[in-house]
Amino acid sequence: MAQVLIVDDEELVRNTLRRILQREGHEVVEAENGERGLEIFRTQQIDLVIADLFMPVMDGLAMLNELRQEFPAAKLIAISGSVYERQPKFLEIAGRMESVRTLAKPFTADQVAAVVNDTLAAEPTEQPD
Protein backbone atom coordinates (compact mmCIF):
# COMPACT_ATOMS: atom_id res chain seq x y z
CA MET A 1 0.00 0.00 0.00
CA ALA A 2 1.31 3.42 -0.93
CA GLN A 3 0.21 6.99 -0.39
CA VAL A 4 -0.15 8.46 -3.88
CA LEU A 5 -0.51 12.16 -4.69
CA ILE A 6 -2.48 12.86 -7.88
CA VAL A 7 -1.97 16.37 -9.31
CA ASP A 8 -4.29 17.21 -12.20
CA ASP A 9 -6.54 20.18 -12.93
CA GLU A 10 -9.22 17.94 -14.45
CA GLU A 11 -11.52 16.44 -11.83
CA LEU A 12 -12.51 13.64 -14.20
CA VAL A 13 -8.91 12.52 -14.55
CA ARG A 14 -8.32 12.70 -10.78
CA ASN A 15 -11.46 10.63 -10.17
CA THR A 16 -10.45 8.02 -12.75
CA LEU A 17 -6.94 7.70 -11.33
CA ARG A 18 -8.23 7.60 -7.77
CA ARG A 19 -10.58 4.72 -8.54
CA ILE A 20 -7.83 2.74 -10.27
CA LEU A 21 -5.33 3.33 -7.47
CA GLN A 22 -7.77 2.55 -4.67
CA ARG A 23 -8.68 -0.69 -6.41
CA GLU A 24 -4.95 -1.51 -6.35
CA GLY A 25 -4.98 -0.93 -2.60
CA HIS A 26 -3.35 2.50 -2.50
CA GLU A 27 -4.39 5.63 -0.62
CA VAL A 28 -4.87 8.79 -2.63
CA VAL A 29 -4.40 12.50 -1.98
CA GLU A 30 -5.42 15.00 -4.68
CA ALA A 31 -4.28 18.45 -5.79
CA GLU A 32 -5.59 20.58 -8.65
CA ASN A 33 -2.37 22.42 -9.53
CA GLY A 34 1.38 22.21 -9.06
CA GLU A 35 1.57 24.74 -6.25
CA ARG A 36 -0.95 22.81 -4.15
CA GLY A 37 0.83 19.57 -5.08
CA LEU A 38 4.14 20.92 -3.72
CA GLU A 39 2.47 22.06 -0.49
CA ILE A 40 1.01 18.62 0.06
CA PHE A 41 4.26 16.83 -0.77
CA ARG A 42 6.17 19.01 1.70
CA THR A 43 3.72 18.43 4.54
CA GLN A 44 2.48 14.86 4.11
CA GLN A 45 4.06 11.44 3.75
CA ILE A 46 3.78 10.78 0.01
CA ASP A 47 5.29 7.71 -1.67
CA LEU A 48 4.55 8.57 -5.29
CA VAL A 49 3.40 11.58 -7.33
CA ILE A 50 1.38 11.33 -10.55
CA ALA A 51 1.40 14.77 -12.19
CA ASP A 52 -0.44 16.21 -15.15
CA LEU A 53 1.69 18.65 -17.18
CA PHE A 54 -0.86 21.28 -18.22
CA MET A 55 -2.37 22.96 -15.18
CA PRO A 56 -3.08 26.51 -14.08
CA VAL A 57 -1.11 28.31 -11.31
CA MET A 58 1.93 26.02 -11.53
CA ASP A 59 2.28 23.52 -14.36
CA GLY A 60 3.49 19.96 -13.99
CA LEU A 61 7.00 20.46 -15.40
CA ALA A 62 7.69 23.30 -12.95
CA MET A 63 6.35 21.24 -10.06
CA LEU A 64 8.33 18.12 -11.05
CA ASN A 65 11.53 20.19 -11.37
CA GLU A 66 11.03 21.64 -7.90
CA LEU A 67 10.25 18.26 -6.41
CA ARG A 68 13.28 16.65 -8.05
CA GLN A 69 15.58 19.35 -6.66
CA GLU A 70 14.14 19.33 -3.15
CA PHE A 71 13.55 15.60 -2.90
CA PRO A 72 16.02 13.72 -5.13
CA ALA A 73 14.51 10.35 -4.23
CA ALA A 74 10.88 11.31 -4.90
CA LYS A 75 9.06 8.87 -7.15
CA LEU A 76 7.45 10.78 -9.98
CA ILE A 77 5.19 9.93 -12.91
CA ALA A 78 4.23 12.56 -15.51
CA ILE A 79 0.97 12.24 -17.45
CA SER A 80 -0.27 14.32 -20.35
CA GLY A 81 -1.84 14.31 -23.77
CA SER A 82 -5.55 14.25 -23.03
CA VAL A 83 -8.00 14.52 -25.89
CA TYR A 84 -8.01 18.27 -25.24
CA GLU A 85 -4.30 18.82 -24.95
CA ARG A 86 -2.28 16.61 -27.27
CA GLN A 87 1.24 17.76 -26.46
CA PRO A 88 3.47 14.69 -26.67
CA LYS A 89 6.58 16.94 -26.79
CA PHE A 90 6.06 18.03 -23.20
CA LEU A 91 5.73 14.45 -22.05
CA GLU A 92 9.04 13.75 -23.83
CA ILE A 93 10.68 16.63 -21.95
CA ALA A 94 9.32 15.33 -18.65
CA GLY A 95 10.59 11.85 -19.53
CA ARG A 96 14.11 13.22 -19.99
CA MET A 97 14.13 14.50 -16.41
CA GLU A 98 15.97 12.21 -14.04
CA SER A 99 13.83 9.22 -13.09
CA VAL A 100 10.50 10.62 -14.15
CA ARG A 101 8.30 7.98 -15.75
CA THR A 102 5.59 8.94 -18.18
CA LEU A 103 2.06 7.86 -18.97
CA ALA A 104 0.14 9.18 -21.97
CA LYS A 105 -3.57 9.93 -21.82
CA PRO A 106 -5.86 8.24 -22.57
CA PHE A 107 -4.62 5.38 -20.40
CA THR A 108 -6.12 2.07 -19.34
CA ALA A 109 -6.42 0.90 -15.74
CA ASP A 110 -3.84 -1.81 -16.46
CA GLN A 111 -1.35 0.75 -17.80
CA VAL A 112 -1.76 2.91 -14.70
CA ALA A 113 -1.38 -0.07 -12.36
CA ALA A 114 1.72 -1.26 -14.25
CA VAL A 115 3.59 2.07 -14.23
CA VAL A 116 2.63 2.75 -10.59
CA ASN A 117 3.79 -0.67 -9.41
CA ASP A 118 7.03 -0.42 -11.45
CA THR A 119 7.79 3.01 -10.04
CA LEU A 120 7.08 1.98 -6.46
CA ALA A 121 9.27 -1.11 -6.87
CA ALA A 122 12.19 0.83 -8.40
CA GLU A 123 15.23 1.71 -6.33
CA PRO A 124 15.32 5.43 -5.55
CA THR A 125 17.99 7.31 -7.52
CA GLU A 126 19.41 8.61 -4.24
CA GLN A 127 18.76 7.70 -0.64
CA PRO A 128 16.68 10.27 1.18
CA ASP A 129 18.35 11.96 4.17
**Binding footprint of Mg ion on the chain (CB under 5 A):** 9, 52, 54-55
Closest residue to Mg ion, based on beta-carbon distance: 54
Nearest in space to 106 (alpha carbons), one of 75, 74, 84: 84
> Pseudo-torsion of CA 110, 116, 118, 123, nearest 10°?
180
Least Å distance between CB 23 and Mg ion? 23
Residue number with CB closer to Mg ion (20 or 55): 55
Nearer to Mg ion, 2 or 93 (CB): 93
Minimal distance, residue 79 CB to Mg ion, in Å: 9
The Cα 84–Cα 87 span in angstroms is 9
Q: Choose between 101 and 105: whose C-beta lies nearer to Mg ion.
A: 105
Backbone angles phi, psi at 71, to 5 degrees: -130, 85
